[in-house]
């Protein structure tokens, strides 16, 4: 029935493995902290002081392979038939982006430059991973908080590259392509225009991005950050966009954090597949989704694929617009120059 699932055989969890609650590690014992570089596999990227050595202290953003990867870079991506079923090796890459050496500083509490560097790490790894032609999609994501699936407290995001174009991306691309073929326009570009006119679902606007509570939000306070330019691939984000994205991302996260009292959330970047040579990719318009986890997707959602959202997006956006967030002086000044902030 057309479903691909990653069976992480190496993890091979038996019943007893699930009985232990996943406790958050506290600093000191944390493998992602500075001075604990030896506790992770060797780094694949780090922004660090010129005098510092690889896998040593002195970095401010560091990317390492996941110690317990869901997929691995080795192997071939052939599909084998097993009676009625198909099997493919879980080839791919699974990396951890350590967003700061500081264990206790959440992404929204970092300064603007640090968040820019995190965005650059996402971009640089995305561009590097695609040099492996077997990889067809690069998923940048972040799980923040235990109930959003984070097993480590230290601020980090993750990147998984997969050998297939994921179903969700395939569906989005189909929707975007269908609309483009019918109207000659991009539905996300049109959405930006409509949202700016109506204003009732807008959270933050800058020169190059807009942050909105989207019309059919699956989660209460779901927020999307969309580049105003029609840009298909996050990997090609420009330097002037990086600064702007850092500002809008920080503001949006600060507002969510203040309004909802530090909610658990997932962040996912939805972008065009890579290494496929497909012509329909021009219709993709990448965006970043922030998905607070305040409700539990349960039997109804699992059975039907529908989500029940108890908070209309217009109400969420208005609450977030009214949530005033404070900046340290330097950044506040800079932000005020960028555009419409609180």
The residues assigned a catalytic role are 156
Residue 169 lies near a second copy (rule: CB under 8 A): yes
Minimum CB separation of residue 44 from a second copy in Å reads 18
Please, which residue, 44 or 268, has the CB nearer to a second copy?
A: 268
Of residues 211-240, those binding a second copy (CB under 8 A): 215-218, 220-221
The residue from 66, 89, 158, 275 that contacts a second copy (CB under 8 A) is 158
Could you write out the DSSP letters of every residue in 86-155?
EEE--BSEEEEEE--S-TT--GGGS-HHHHHHHHHHHHHHHHHHTTSTT--EEEEEEEESGGGT-S--S-
Q: Are 43 and 65 in contact (CB under 8 A)?
A: no
Task: Pick one of 49, 168, 239, 330: the residue that binds a second copy (CB under 8 A).
Answer: 168
Q: Is 111 in the site for a second copy (CB under 8 A)?
A: no
Nearer to a second copy, 57 or 148 (CB): 148
Can residue 297 be called a binding residue for a second copy (CB under 8 A)? yes
Question: What residues from 72 to 101 belong to the interface with a second copy (CB under 8 A)?
Answer: 83-85
Q: How many CB atoms lie within 10 A of CB 133?
A: 10
Is the Cβ of residue 202 or residue 260 nearer to a second copy in the bound state? 260
Cα angle 323-105-29, degrees, rounded to a multiple of 5: 145
Among 253, 269, 317, 325, binds a second copy (CB under 8 A): 269
Q: Does 149 bind a second copy (CB under 8 A)?
A: yes
Kindly tell me which of 8 and 30 has the beta carbon lying closer to a second copy: 8
Give the shortest CB-263-to-a second copy separation in angstroms: 7
Binding-site size, a second copy (CB under 8 A) = 85
Which of 172, 100, 95, 103 is closest to 138 using CA atoms? 95
Among the listed residues 224, 266, 321, 338, the single contact to a second copy using CB under 8 A? 266
Rounded to the nearest whole angstrom, what is the least distance from the CB of residue 109 to a second copy in the complex? 19
Q: What is the DSSP string of 140-172?
A: EEEEESGGGT-S--S-EEEEEEESS--HHHHHH
CB-nearer residue toward a second copy: 59 or 221: 221
In the complex, what is the shortest distance from the CB of residue 169 to a second copy, in angstroms, rounded to a whole number?
A: 7
With respect to a second copy, which residue has the nearer C-beta, 176 or 242?
176
21 belongs to the binding site for a second copy (CB under 8 A) = no
Residue 54 Cβ, how far from a second copy at the closest point, in Å?
A: 28
15: which DSSP letter? G
Strand order of the sheet with strand 202-205? 45-48, 59-65, 93-98, 156-162, 137-144, 265-270, 287-292, 223-227, 209-212, 202-205
| Distance (Å, whole) CA 99 – CA 157 | 7
Smallest distance, a second copy to C-beta of residue 170, A: 8
Nearer to a second copy, 120 or 218 (CB): 218
293: tokens are 């986890």
Calculate Rg over the CA atoms of the chain.
20
CA 292 to each of CA 30, 64, 120, 267: distance values in angstroms, whole numbers, following the listed order: 25, 26, 24, 9
Our finding on whether 184 is near a second copy (CB under 8 A) is no
Q: Is 277 in the site for a second copy (CB under 8 A)?
A: no
Contact between 155 and a second copy per CB under 8 A? no
Whole-angstrom CA distances from 113 to 32, 43, 116 are 20, 21, 5
Token pair listed for 73: 């870079």
State in angstroms the smallest separation of the CB of 96 from a second copy: 12
Residues 251, 248: Cα–Cα separation, whole Å: 5
């Amino acid at each position: 029935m057309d479903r691909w699932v990653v069976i992480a055989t190496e993890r091979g969890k038996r019943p007893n493995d699930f009985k232990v609650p996943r406790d958050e590690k506290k600093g000191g014992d944390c493998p992602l902290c500075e001075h604990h570089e030896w506790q992770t596999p060797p780094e694949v990227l780090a922004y660090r002081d010129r005098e510092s050595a690889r896998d040593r202290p002195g970095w401010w953003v560091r990317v390492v392979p996941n110690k317990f990867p869901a997929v691995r870079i080795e192997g071939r991506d052939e599909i084998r038939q097993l009676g009625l079923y198909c099997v493919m090796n879980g080839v791919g890459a699974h990396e951890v982006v350590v967003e700061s050496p500081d264990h206790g500083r959440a992404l929204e509490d970092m300064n603007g430059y640090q968040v820019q560097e995190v965005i650059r790490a996402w971009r640089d790894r995305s561009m590097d991973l695609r040099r492996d032609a077997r990889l067809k999609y690069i998923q940048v994501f972040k799980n923040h908080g235990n109930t959003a699936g984070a097993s480590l407290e230290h601020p980090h995001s993750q990147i998984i590259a997969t050998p297939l174009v994921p179903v969700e991306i395939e569906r989005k691309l189909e929707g975007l392509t269908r609309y483009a073929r019918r109207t000659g326009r991009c539905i996300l570009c049109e959405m930006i225009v409509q949202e700016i006119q109506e204003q009732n679902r807008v959270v933050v606007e800058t020169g190059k991005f807009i942050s909105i509570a989207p019309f059919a939000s699956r989660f209460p306070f779901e927020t999307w950050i969309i580049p105003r330019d029609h840009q298909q691939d996050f990997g090609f984000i420009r330097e002037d966009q990086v600064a702007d994205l850092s500002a809008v991302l920080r503001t949006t996260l600060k507002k969510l954090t203040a309004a909802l009292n530090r909610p658990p959330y997932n962040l996912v970047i939805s972008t065009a597949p890579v290494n496929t040579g497909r012509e329909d990719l021009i219709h993709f318009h990448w965006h970043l989704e922030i998905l607070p986890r305040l409700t539990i997707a349960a039997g109804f959602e699992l059975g039907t694929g529908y989500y029940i959202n108890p908070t209309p997006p217009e109400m969420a956006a208005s609450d977030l617009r009214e949530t005033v967030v404070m900046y340290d002086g330097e950044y506040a000044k800079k932000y005020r120059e960028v555009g419409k902030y609180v």
